Amino acid sequence: MKKAKIYIPSKTAMQSGYGKTKNWVLEFETSDPSTNALMGWELSKDTLNSVRINFSTKEKAINYAKKNNIDFKIIKPNKKKFILKSYADNFLKN
């Protein structure tokens, strides 16, 4: 049976905005990962590992997985912690 994970991708270090982090992604897990002896690359005979399906909501991704008999696990997004600071805080002593 196919296995997949459903998650919201985090923003990369090269992104300043959160534009590509609003959609949920269903991504299949590889069933037989191995390493190429000559080059050291990861390879697999399973082509589903290159499939990524984007959904606007988590519920749509779950419904798609259930409809197509895909075992899935949901990875919840981490909460973002904002520490509000001002420039003056550099000069104040606690």
Q: Provide the residue range defining the domain that includes 69.
A: 3-90
Give the domain CATH number at 58.
3.30.160
Contact, 26 vs 52, CB < 8 A? yes
Helix H or strand E segment including 18 = none
Contact, 53 vs 64, CB < 8 A? yes
3-class state of residue 9 by DSSP: coil
- What's the domain count of the chain? 1
DSSP state of 89: G
Burial class (CB in 10 A: 0-12, 13-18, 19+), 76: exposed
Print pLDDT tens along the chain (94 aa). Answer: 689 999 998 877 787 777 777 899 999 987 777 777 888 887 777 777 788 999 999 999 999 999 999 999 999 988 878 888 888 888 887 6
Contact, 9 vs 26, CB < 8 A? no
pTM score, whole prediction: 0.70
